[in-house]
Amino acid sequence: MRRDTAIQSFLDYLVTERGLGLRTCQAYGSDLQKVATHFFGEDSPARWQDLSTEHLIAYLDEQRKAGQKPSSIARCLASLRGFYRFLVDEGVVGKDITSDLQNPRVRRPLPQTFSENDVIRLIEAPDCETPSGLRDRALLELLYASGLRISEACGLRPDSVHWAGDYLVVMGKGKKSASFPFTSAPKRRFRNTFKMEGPPLILKIAAPPFCRHPREAPLEEDCIPAFEDLCVAVWPAAPSITS
């Protein structure tokens, strides 16, 4: 299996078999591409099975000396662990060279939170005179009222919504389903703003001609940057809403 092919096969596995989100897979892919660039030149005949535990220890130590945060190094190690387990299962390598590697100590800071006034300002920030503003307002109200992750809200489909029962059923991480409350205020705005049509990750704005075409990019790709911009505009020191 070629080096780049191995990485892509692993990422496909994470999506189809493990049910991991787009941003998680992108982070894993970025980590593995950096490792590949470090060890394999364009004309290098080296393969993933040619690396050893010592190679990875040296690489991670270089990252630490270069100023990488412990959390970034820990994520890179998690990417490598998952990748090599996949390669072992696929018969590409005979041994998992990451099994003896230890995680760096990661300091967990206390989480930042929004105040009630900050939340109100954030929800009211979208311009409801525009289609994207209507969309953002509806999704922000839903996120606040239900506790959904952004990726879960953007992945809603028609059978996710139980209008009579006031709850949503969503597919979360690891393809596990969970129920969330769907109260009257976000329900009313959601019903008026969106048509629950199309495949997962596609929510169409109800009023034509602003309907999103099913072939367009998932809402997650443009909602997350938009929400982050709103947070910064409302509160410059805002915690990330995607964490």
More confident site: 210 or 4: 4
More confident site: 92 or 3: 92
**Which long-range contacts does 107-112 make (Cβ < 8 Å, 24+ apart)?**
107/70, 111/239, 112/237, 112/238, 112/239
Residue 164 is predicted with a pLDDT of 76
Tell me if domain 3-89 and domain 116-234 are identical in fold: no
Task: Determine the average pLDDT of the residues in 7-15.
Answer: 93
| Alpha carbons within 13 A on the beta-carbon side of 205 | 19
**Domain range 116-234, its CATH number among 1.10.443.10, 3.60.110.10, 3.40.630.10, 1.10.1660.10:** 1.10.443.10
Residue 224 is predicted with a pLDDT of 52
Task: Determine the average pLDDT of the residues in 225-231.
Answer: 55
Q: Is 171 helix (H, G, I), strand (E, B) or coil?
A: strand
pLDDT tens-digit profile of 32-53?
999 998 888 766 667 888 899 9
Confidence check: pLDDT of 120 > 80: yes
**Domain range summary for the chain, segments of one domain joined by +:** 3-89, 116-234
The CATH class of 3-89 is mainly alpha
Percent of the chain with pLDDT over 90: 23
Question: For the chain, what is the mean pLDDT?
Answer: 75
More confident site: 41 or 138: 138
Task: Determine the average pLDDT of the residues in 166-195.
Answer: 75
What is the separation, in whole angstroms, between the first and last Cα of the chain? 35
Q: Is the bond preceding 181 in cis, omega lying within 30 degrees of 0?
A: no
Q: Give the span between the Cα atoms of 136 and 160, in whole angstroms.
A: 19
Residue type, 231: C
What single-letter DSSP state applies at residue 169?
E
